[in-house]
């Protein structure tokens, strides 16, 4: 089935469900808030959408869920949904998103807040909250419902658009941050409490700190993005000397990330492995390696021994950055160790080799096999897979080799490897986006 048809079915389903929800909740909870309140909440929701962030697996997130949830528990499921839907569509309209995407996001968010608020009321929550203490449990269920519906809908859309498994997309955009999201949503409860006592003045006083925190967070994110991009510039400039390694490190990073994702590693581990993979060969910048890198014939034993020192040289360089000392530096140092202990520089074997190094070795080998060389053309996917299987237990960690060869994402990357450094960033699982993942704590996703 074509992507557009699948997406059309998803949007139609959400539209029907949102319409039914609105029709029913309007019948049951018709009490309309004042026009000033509706306008104020919609404008604040719109303002909180500013400075939205890209999510790791695609889509964007914003802090507006705080005001959506607050609107739900202050005004009930119908008016909460209306504020949420109107604020979302206004904001996405300014970004000139296509009508079908406006509809999708408006509906999925209205459903998230509408159903979330119904759950809240069903377990004893009052509209507006009577006391903070009594509202806590219903509020927690509301937040969980909101994030489940929102993240499921957004992940389904991204999964359809990118042909990636739903589970992987959901996990990447939600794993590790859902706890932060739930904690951050508690601001909504405080906001509702302040608004109930103080009215609109209370709303603006409560929202102000959220905007300030948001601003600081966006500045921090930009700084981190700049650091990562500087690293990429450095690696690309090193590789520019050799046409056969151009883009190699970026591709090794992508492959390493795909393998690490299959293993279900934590976000922190994933980031460390990605950084180590990007920097694994930086030691090759040393002048002594230049003639060896340019040599088209096979290296002599002396030259090979010299070339092998690049792993230590890379680790030394990586260790200059204090933040990279420890796991990242050791993953770089040992990226040529073999499972059977026949590798270098330390001759480590089995699980004594850092996990990051074992992953990088697999990714590094895959990229070498799928790159055109002066003496041979790139190998086909099935040949690469057979080679990895043949060398498991000797060169590679056997479990990792199995995970790698059975991974759909890795196979897709191998088949689609273009060997163009610029194209490396265009992959649907571009590693660049991972920097944003851990900062997804202020988000209500959109696809």
* Shortest distance, position 235 Cβ to Fe ion, whole Å: 13
- The position carrying tokens 């807040």 is 113
The yes or no reply on residue 330 touching Fe ion (CB under 5 A) is: no
Q: Which stretch binds Fe ion (CB under 5 A): 79-87, 128-136, 154-162, 275-283?
A: 275-283
Q: Which stretch binds Fe ion (CB under 5 A): 182-190, 217-225, 249-257, 277-285?
A: 277-285
CA atoms in the 13 A half-sphere facing the CB of 74: 28
* Shortest distance, position 284 Cβ to Fe ion, whole Å: 8
d(CA 212, CA 304): 56
235: its two tokens: 């690696």
| # of chain residues touching Fe ion (CB under 5 A) | 1
* Shortest distance, position 331 Cβ to Fe ion, whole Å: 12
SS3 396: strand
The yes or no reply on residue 367 touching Fe ion (CB under 5 A) is: no
- Choose between 158 and 285: whose C-beta lies nearer to Fe ion: 285
- Choose between 164 and 251: whose C-beta lies nearer to Fe ion: 251
Q: Which stretch binds Fe ion (CB under 5 A): 127-135, 170-178, 226-234, 276-284?
A: 276-284
d(CA 51, CA 218): 7
- Choose between 331 and 405: whose C-beta lies nearer to Fe ion: 331
d(CA 387, CA 374): 20
* Shortest distance, position 391 Cβ to Fe ion, whole Å: 17
CB 190 within 8 A of CB 37: no
* Shortest distance, position 345 Cβ to Fe ion, whole Å: 11
Q: What backbone torsions phi and psi does residue 446 show, to the nearest 5 degrees?
A: -135, 150
The yes or no reply on residue 49 touching Fe ion (CB under 5 A) is: no
- Choose between 199 and 345: whose C-beta lies nearer to Fe ion: 345
CB 281 within 8 A of CB 253: no
Per-residue DSSP letter, 338: -
- Choose between 228 and 310: whose C-beta lies nearer to Fe ion: 310
Site string for Fe ion, 230-269 (x = CB under 5 A): ----------------------------------------
* Shortest distance, position 307 Cβ to Fe ion, whole Å: 9
The yes or no reply on residue 281 touching Fe ion (CB under 5 A) is: yes
Q: Which stretch binds Fe ion (CB under 5 A): 144-152, 247-255, 273-281, 377-385?
A: 273-281
* Shortest distance, position 281 Cβ to Fe ion, whole Å: 5
Contacts 24+ apart (CB under 8 A), 395-398: 395/338, 395/339, 395/340, 395/343, 395/361, 395/365, 396/338, 396/339, 396/358, 396/361, 396/362, 396/365, 397/339, 397/350, 397/351, 397/353, 397/358, 397/362, 398/339
SS3 446: strand
- Choose between 335 and 439: whose C-beta lies nearer to Fe ion: 335
289: its two tokens: 């390696």
SS3 124: coil
- Choose between 63 and 370: whose C-beta lies nearer to Fe ion: 370
Residues that bind Fe ion (CB under 5 A): 281
């Amino acid at each position: 089935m074509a992507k557009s048809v699948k997406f059309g079915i998803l949007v139609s389903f959400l539209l029907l469900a949102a319409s039914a929800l609105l029709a029913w909740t309007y019948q049951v909870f018709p009490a309309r808030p004042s026009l000033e309140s509706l306008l104020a909440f919609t404008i604040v929701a719109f303002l909180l959408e500013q400075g939205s962030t890209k999510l790791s697996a695609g889509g964007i997130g914003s802090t507006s869920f705080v005001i959506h949830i607050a609107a739900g528990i202050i005004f009930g499921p119908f008016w909460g949904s209306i504020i949420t839907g109107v604020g979302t569509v206004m904001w996405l309209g300014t970004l000139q998103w296509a009508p079908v995407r406006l509809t999708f996001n408006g509906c999925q968010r209205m459903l998230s807040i509408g159903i979330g608020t119904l759950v809240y009321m069903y377990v004893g929550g009052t509209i507006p909250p009577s006391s903070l203490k009594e509202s806590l449990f219903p509020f927690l269920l509301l937040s969980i419902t909101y994030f489940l519906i929102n993240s499921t809908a957004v992940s389904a859309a991204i999964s359809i658009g990118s042909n990636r498994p739903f589970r992987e997309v959901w996990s990447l955009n939600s794993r590790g941050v859902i706890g932060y999201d739930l904690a951050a949503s508690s601001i909504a409860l405080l906001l509702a409490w302040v608004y109930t006592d103080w009215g609109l003045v209370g709303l603006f006083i409560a929202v102000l700190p959220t905007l300030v925190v948001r601003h600081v967070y966006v500045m921090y994110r930009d700084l981190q993005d700049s650091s990562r991009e500087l690293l990429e510039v450095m690696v690309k400039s090193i590789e520019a000397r050799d046409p056969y390694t151009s883009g190699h490190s970026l591709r090794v990073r992508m492959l390493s990330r795909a393998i690490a994702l299959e293993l279900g590693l934590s976000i922190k581990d994933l980031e460390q492995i990605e950084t180590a993979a990007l920097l694994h060969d930086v030691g090759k910048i040393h002048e002594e390696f230049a003639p060896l890198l340019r040599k088209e014939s096979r290296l002599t034993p002396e030259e090979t021994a010299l070339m092998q020192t690049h792993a230590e040289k890379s680790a030394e360089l990586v260790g200059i950055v204090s933040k990279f000392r420890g796991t990242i530096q050791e993953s770089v140092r040992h990226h040529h160790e073999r499972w059977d202990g026949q590798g270098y520089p330390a001759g480590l074997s089995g699980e004594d080799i850092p996990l990051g190094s074992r992953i990088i070795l697999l990714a590094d080998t895959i990229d070498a096999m799928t790159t055109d060389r002066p003496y041979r053309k790139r190998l086909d996917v099935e040949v690469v897979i057979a080679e990895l299987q043949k060398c498991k237990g000797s060169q590679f960690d056997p479990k990792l080799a199995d995970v790698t060869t059975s991974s759909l994402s890795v196979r897709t990357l191998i088949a689609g490897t273009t060997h163009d450094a610029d194209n490396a960033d265009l992959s649907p699982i571009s590693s660049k986006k991972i920097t944003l993942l851990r900062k997804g704590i202020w988000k209500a996703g959109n696809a």
